Structure 1
Amino acid sequence: MWVFIKSAVANIARQNRIPLYSLPAIAFAIPMVPAFVLLPAFYAEDIGLGLTLTGGAFFIIRIVDMTSDPLVGWLTSTDHPVWGKKKIWIAIGSVIAGVSLWALFTPPPDANSRYLISWGCAMFIGWTMVQIPYLAWGLEIAPEYHQKTKLAAYREGATLLGILGALTLPVLLLTGDDRHNLVLIAAVALSIGFVGTLCALAFVPEGTTGRFQNYSLISLKKVAANRLLLRTITAWLLNGIGNGVPAVCFALYATYVLQISDAERNILLLVYFLTAVLSVPVWLYFSRRLGKVRAWCCGIILACVTFPAALFLGAGDFWFFFVVCVLTGFALGADSILPPAIQADVLDWDRLRYRRQIETIAFSLWTVSAKFSLALAAIVAFPLLDFLGLQEGAQAGLWGLKVIYALLPIVLRYWLSW
């Protein structure tokens, strides 16, 4: 009987390896928006650290986070019988990230910048230990061309569902208290993360690995010889800055420009990401009809056309910005699922051309570029807005926020689309 049950479970797991692999992405994504969008403003205003100190703290966190990517990429690209196994890294990183997440989202009232930096660094290092091997693991269990798009759609769709769940809870509970919301989000993320990660690690196979390229200066030079790979990294960097600046400034824009309540802000975030989730099948269709790169460019152009409207909004313009959130959320669907699929195709080409596997190296470079864009957004936007007197109500600060939030990302995205 036990043998029969074990065989049946293994057969179900084999047929559903992509959905099972995608389960942890729900939990990984639940704290994503609070960590990137709400947490900087929470520490700056609710905890009282101020814009400049908070921006500097998050810049340090991101720099430390960036330096961990090459190290994790090197360690996970080895053929060591233990440390070369991606599941080991995902398990250890999940524990580190989970403990740090709880500390970061439930700070004491007298928390200072050292508290923010220490727990922030620990959380993002743990997240790096999960993210890089998790992304590379996906390529191993979905080796075929259209399987990669399907896996990216499942994983990024699960990511968007996790984000959506995190934003739905405060709206359903009708609470505008950010401290209470952060505690609730952390508890839900840890609970779902435990179950989802355990299922993936237990039932999804390790994957088929080939001859991995050692992570060294020599291998980095060989990677740099792939011009197509460098172009995708550059595109990912520009796109990351275009996404990172409005993400960091959204809570400030809602407070100082739109002058709406925290509950209304949460509704706008929910609408934005709900539209992104609903748009995923549409972008999958466009990617088959137009190709992945052209479909992604269409999404970027849609964002470039609609987002500048935020430059002309003011107090009480909730419904106008609601429409902007719907249209830009639709564009976010392309931004979420198509770049990972394009990256997977580039790595396929590299493997066929050079007969090597550089998944963990390449993904570490991609994540470094994304994290650098967020670090740049934090260190530039917050101190500049502090200098312009945003918190004191200066008009220069208000217009500076509008330009940084609505115009700067569009310039970068327009450049990227061409």
Structure 2
Amino acid sequence: MASGAAPTARSMAGYGLLALPLAFGGLPLYVHAPDFYAADLGLPLAALGLTLAGLRLLDAGLDPLAGWLSDRWPRARLAWVVLGAAALALGVLALFLPPAGARLTWFAAAMALASLGHSLVSVNLLTLGGAWRPEAGLRARISAMREAFGLAGLVLAVVLPAALAPWIGRGPALAVMAGLLAVLLMFAVPVFARWYRRTRPAAEAMAAPAPIAWDRLRPFYLAVLPVLLSAALPAALILMLVRDLLGLPDLAGLFLLTYFLAALPGTLAAGWLAARWGAVPVWIAALILSMAAFAFCLRLGPGEGTEFLAICLLTGFCFGADLVLPPAILFARIEAAGARHAAARAFALLGFLTKAALALAGALALPLLQLAGFRPAQPNSPEALRLLLILYAALPLALRGLAVVLLFVNHRRGRI
């Protein structure tokens, strides 16, 4: 379906539904599994940390591999999705049903399998969504539908373990979560396959790998990278901010849930506004709005939970635009560069930059805090807490300001 009537909500849901289990399965990989193996299974922190570092490097390289495979055999995109879904389900199930011995090896193997599956599904889901319709407004609406399902899956992944753990224990709760992921994928993949067979979104028309005009795509990547880093820093530091600066550790779950719930209407608003005004201007406006929230965050002090809840609402709403609009903008640049044959590799690079930003945020913020004498869950000096706030809010504020300038200048010059 490359032209003609606008796709129906049912058709877009058939495409976007797969994002729900994809996001639902992503949270255990990055949040639950490391802490579960350390706290519940007693793996040594040093060995687990080294293993995680290797896995993060592997994970960052899997997106480009998935992009190359998908571009090399474009008619097998559906097969790659099915294979990736199976690997994701098996990997997460294995993670939370560990054997009695060799648990570090088991952890590494299960994480690698699940990460490969996640990359295969996510890269192809983004690529096919961009290739479905050429109209920029429709592409933004399609992206909004996908990200709304993804956020629903993320909210479910936040709520479910917390709700079940008091009743059955954390280990069984995570095992139930892994089983539910398999069930969700068993339902979502056939729905996605039915959508794929009905629409055939130009995937088979994409040629085999050929040189990519990266210089035509470079302005987009240079603009999106500071946004990704500005989101990764608060993600790495929010629990410390809530516990050590605000002194409200029991409200951390509420703040996170508020943020993700606010992003749901943010995705829909971003898609609707981009269809009317264009993706780049809407994204610039959302970035400026989020900058106001980060500026207000710099005034936070102990006990100011109401103020931080309002910040979570506003930044979460703007986060919806960060999810929806970059993929839509990227595919527009891919078409302008005549690089549809390399769409999966281009989206794979976006995935790589996202994971690299997460790694860089931790590598930058945590050592700086340690040098300043910051100690998690212990009394800290005003200087150490000030640095925490600067890394959480001031640095993201500056990074988003840089992104706004890059987007504005390059959009006026026709490069984005």
TM-score normalized with structure 2 length: 0.81
Matches of 2:374 and 2:62, distance apart in 1:
35
Partner of 1:68: 62
User: Deviations for 1:187-234, whole angstroms, at most 9, x for unmatched residues?
Assistant: 333321221122212453143335535446xx1xx42232xx111122
The whole-number CA distance in structure 2 between the counterparts of 1:41 and 1:367 is: 24
Distance 1:385 1:109, change over 3 A: farther
**Measured at CA, do residues 269 and 185 of structure 1 come closer, stay the same or move farther in structure 2, by a change above 3 Å?**
farther
Q: Quote how far apart the aligned CAs of 1:14 are.
A: 9.2
In the TM superposition, what whole-angstrom CA distance separates every residue of 1:69-110 from its partner, at most 9, and x where no partner exists? Answer: 222222211247xxx411111111112122222344566899
Q: Which residue of 1 aligns with 2:180?
A: 188
User: Structure 1 residues 123 and 172 mapped into 2: Cα distance closer, same or farther (>3 Å)?
Assistant: closer
Runs (5+) with no aligned partner, structure 2: 1-6, 406-416
CA distance in 1, matches of 2:34, 2:366: 9
Alignment equivalent of 1:25, drawn from 19, 38, 41? 19
Distance 1:125 1:207 in 2: 24
Of 366, 375, 386, which residue of structure 2 is paired with 1:390?
Answer: 375
Moved more, 92-101 or 308-317: 308-317
Note if 1:128 corresponds to 2:143: no
Taking a change above 3 Å as real, the CA distance of residues 14 and 373 of structure 1, as seen in their structure-2 partners, is same
Does structure 1 residue 284 correspond to structure 2 residue 271?
yes
The corresponding residue for 1:160 is 151
Counterpart secondary structure, 1:85: helix
Check 1:365–1:350 CA distance in 2 against 1; reply closer, same or farther (3 A cut): same
User: Secondary structure at the residue paired with 1:248?
Assistant: helix
Q: CA deviation at 1:23?
A: 1.1
Check whether the contact 2:158–2:257 (CA below 8 A) recurs between aligned residues.
yes
Q: Could you tell me whether the CA contact under 8 Å between 1:152 and 1:340 is conserved in 2?
A: yes
1:274 matched residue in structure 2: 261
Does residue 100 in structure 1 map to residue 67 in structure 2? no
Worse overlay, 124-133 or 171-180: 171-180
1:363 aligns with 2:347: yes
Q: Does 1:252 align with 2:240?
A: yes
Structure 1 position 373 matched with structure 2 position 357: yes
Decide whether the 8 Å contact of 2:84 with 2:121 is kept in 1.
yes
How has the CA–CA distance of structure 1 residues 153 and 169 changed in structure 2, closer, same or farther, with 3 Å as cutoff?
same
Q: Contact 1:385 / 1:401 at 8 angstroms: preserved in 2?
A: yes
Q: 1:95 to 1:51 in 2, by over 3 A?
A: same
Contact 2:263/2:318 (8 A) holds in 1: yes
Query: What's the secondary structure of 1:208's corresponding residue?
Result: coil
Give the aligned partner of residue 200 of structure 1: 192
Q: Deviations over 1:239-279 (max 9, x none)?
A: 111111211222333333333345x2222111111111123
Q: Is the 8 A contact 2:298 2:389 kept in 1?
A: yes
* 1:324 counterpart residue number: 311
Q: Distance in 1 between matches of 2:302 and 2:208?
A: 55
Greater mean alpha carbon deviation, residues 242-251 or residues 137-146: 137-146
Determine if contact 1:94/1:127 at 8 Å carries over to the other structure. Answer: yes
Task: Tell me how far apart the structure 1 counterparts of residues 299 and 97 of structure 2 sit (CA, whole Å).
Answer: 36
1:223 aligns with 2:208: no
Q: Give the AA of the match of 1:329.
A: G
Residues 10-49 of structure 1 show CA distances to partners (whole Å, capped at 9, x for unaligned) of: xxx9984321111111111124445445666666777777
What amino acid does structure 2 have at the position aligned with 1:90? V
Is the contact between residue 233 and residue 358 of structure 2 (CA under 8 Å) also seen in structure 1?
A: yes
Q: Determine what percentage of the aligned residue pairs are the same residue.
A: 27
Give the deviation of 1:289 after TM superposition.
4.2
What is the RMSD of the two structures over their aligned residues, measured on CA atoms?
3.4
Tell me the matched-pair count. Answer: 393
- 1:231-250 superposed matches below 5 A: 231-250=219-238
Question: Kindly tell me: are residues 129 and 346 of structure 1, through their superposed partners in 2, closer, same or farther at Cα, counting changes over 3 Å?
Answer: same
The 1:275/1:15 distance shift into structure 2, 3 A limit, reads: closer
Distance in 2 between residues matched to 1:144 and 1:301, nearest whole Å = 26
Q: Separation in 2 of the partners of 1:259 and 1:51?
A: 26
Residue 326 of structure 1 deviates from its aligned partner by 0.8
Contact 1:257 1:314 in 2 (8 A): yes
**CA distance 1:380–1:180, shift in 2 (3 Å):** farther
